[in-house]
Amino acid sequence: MQTISKKDIPEELTVTIEKLSNLGLGIAKIDGYVIFIEGACPGDTARIRIGKKNKNYAFAKVLEVIKPSDHRTTPFCPMQKICGACQLQFIDYDYQLELKKEIVIDTMHSICGNDNIEVRDVIPSPQTKEYRHKIQYPVSETKDSKRILAGYYRQNSHEIVNIKYCPVQPAYCDEIIEFIRRKASECKVSGYTEKIHTGDLRHIVIRTSQYNNKSLVILVMNSKKLLDKYKLLAEKIFTELENIAGVGINYNDNKTNLILGEKTEILFGDDYIEEKLCDKIFKIGAKTFFQVNPSSADNIFKYIKEYIHKNYKSPVILDAYAGITAFGISLADIAQKVVSVEEVKESVSLAKEIAKENGLANLEINHMDAGKFFEQEVQNGRRYDITILDPPRKGCSRESLDYALKLTKSDIIYVSCNPATLARDLKYLMEKGCKAEFIQPFDMFPHTYHIENVAILHIGN
C-alpha cells in the first residue's frame, strides 16, 4: 500500500535500482512510490534528481552512480549518453538479454494476466555492432553557418545530434551521410527547419544490404516537385560513391512526423536492394517493410521454418501482413500451398518478382487490406493449417483476430515487435479458446529496450 505522496519526494535522493521498465528505464520504489530513472541499470545504487511528478510515479535522471551494478559497462559509442538510439549500451550484452526476457514476462503478467505462458531465453543477435541496415536520419542546419546536421534525436526531444560515427550501422553508411552533408551545401540544398517548416532536405533514408553491401538512398524533400538541385545532389551520390544501388527523391511537404510522403521517384539506378534470407534473395524497396537486422531476421525465419517442418507435413499456410512475402517465400518449399496478403502495392510487386525468379508455383500473392481479405476468405470457406500474423507495431484488431481464428485449423504463429500489443492480442485469443504454447524472443535491436517475439498458439478445435 502506498504510504508516501509525490509532495513528500525530495528533489534529490539516493536509491537502488530494482529492475528495468518496458521502455528501458530503471525502476526504484520509495514506500510504494515508483520512480522511473533514465540511464540506470538494475543493481545500481545512484543519487538521482527527480523531474516530472505524477500521483503514483515520477521520472528522474542519474546524477551520480554511487555503487555500480555488476552488469554496468562502458558504452562503445562516445555519443551514447547524448543520442537517443541505444538506450542500454551501458549494460553488458548478456544481461541485456536477461532484462529483455523479464520485460516480456512482466508484460504478459500485467496485460495478459497469465503467468503460465512459457517465455524462452532470448536468442541473441549474431551481430551486436553494424547490425542496423535501415537508417533514417532527420536533417536540419545550423542557424548562422547553415551547416547541414544529420543524426538521431537527443533523448526526449527533436534536437538533432549530428552523428559522424554510428557503430551499430555499417561503416559505409557513415561515409554516405558525410558525403551528403558536404554535397548538399555545394548543390544549394538546405536543411529542414521543423519549427517553421522551411528548407529542403528533411530526412536521409538508407536501405543497405548485408548480402552485397549495396545501398538504396532516398532523400526526403520538403517539396511537391523535383528541382534541379535535388537531381544534381542525387546524381553526385550515385556517380561519386561506390556500391550505390539507386538514389531517389521522396516528396513530403506536409507538416507531419511521418518520414516518407506518398510519392517516391527513383532518379538513378535501381529502386531496390537485394537481401538474402533462408537461401532466398529478396528485393527491398524504399517503402518496403523489412527487418533492420538481417542476421537476426534470418534466425527468426529459420526458427519458424524448422518448427513447421517438424510438426507438419505439407501444410497450407496463410502469410498475413506479409510485406514482401518473406515468410511465404521462405516456407514455400515445405508447404503444399502458401497464400499471402499485403496492402502496400510496392511490396506486393516486389514479392511477385521474387516468386517468379524462384519459380514458386505454390505461392499465391494477394494485394489487399488484410481485414478485407480475411472476410473474403471466410465467405469463400477456405481454411489454413497455419496462419502467420506479422502485424504492424499496433497489433491486430479484434475483428482480424476473430477472422484468423475462423480461418485457422491448428496453429497461429504471431510475430511481434511490441510486447504490449502482443500480450493484449494473446489475451484475447486465449479468451477465445487458444492455448499459448510458448513465446520465443529474438534480439532484433541490440542495446535498445526493443525485443522481437514469436508466439506459438494452438487452436483447440
**Given a cut of 60, is residue 2 above it in pLDDT?**
no
Verify that 68 and 213 share a domain, yes or no. Answer: no
Query: Contact at 8 Å (CB) between 141 and 148?
Result: yes
DSSP label at residue 121? P
Distance CA 73, CA 446 (A): 15
Q: What is the mean pLDDT of residues 448-454?
A: 97
**Given a cut of 70, is residue 309 above it in pLDDT?**
yes
Verify that 121 and 211 share a domain, yes or no. Answer: no
Verify that 451 and 311 share a domain, yes or no. Answer: yes
> What is the longest distance spanned by two Cα atoms in the chain?
69
Which cell numbers hold the place of 10?
525530495
- Whether residue 88 is contained in a domain is answered as no
Distance CA 18, CA 45 (A): 10
State the pTM of this model.
0.93
CATH of the domain at 373: 3.40.50.150
Verify that 39 and 114 share a domain, yes or no. Answer: no
Which cell numbers hold the place of 395?
497489433
Among 258, 141, 136, smallest CA distance to 196 is for 141
pLDDT score of 413: 98
Q: What is the mean pLDDT of residues 375-380?
A: 93
Number of structural domains the chain divides into: 3
- Whether residue 77 is contained in a domain is answered as no
- Whether residue 86 is contained in a domain is answered as no
**Given a cut of 60, is residue 3 above it in pLDDT?**
no
Verify that 337 and 455 share a domain, yes or no. Answer: yes
**Given a cut of 50, is residue 1 above it in pLDDT?**
no
Domain interval for residue 254: 134-277
Tell me the pairing of strands 337-342 and 215-221: unpaired
Question: Per-residue pLDDT tens for 253-303?
Answer: 999 989 999 999 999 999 999 999 888 889 999 888 888 999 999 999 999
Which residue of the set 83, 187, 417, 434 is catalytic?
417
DSSP label at residue 154? B
End-of-domain residue from the set 253, 277, 301: 277
pLDDT above 90 coverage of the chain, percent? 85
- Whether residue 152 is contained in a domain is answered as yes
- Cβ atoms within 10 Å of 144's Cβ, excluding its own: 6
Verify that 166 and 107 share a domain, yes or no. Answer: no
417 catalytic residue (yes or no): yes
Verify that 245 and 150 share a domain, yes or no. Answer: yes
- Whether residue 91 is contained in a domain is answered as no
Verify that 161 and 21 share a domain, yes or no. Answer: no
Q: Which residues pair with 387 in a beta bridge?
A: 318, 412
Question: Per-residue pLDDT tens for 87-143?
Answer: 999 999 999 999 999 999 999 999 988 778 999 999 999 999 999 999 999 999 998
Place of cell 511521418: 258
- Cβ atoms within 10 Å of 120's Cβ, excluding its own: 13
| Comparison of pLDDT for 358 and 48, the residue scoring more | 48
- Whether residue 287 is contained in a domain is answered as no
Verify that 385 and 307 share a domain, yes or no. Answer: yes
Average model confidence (pLDDT) for the chain?
93
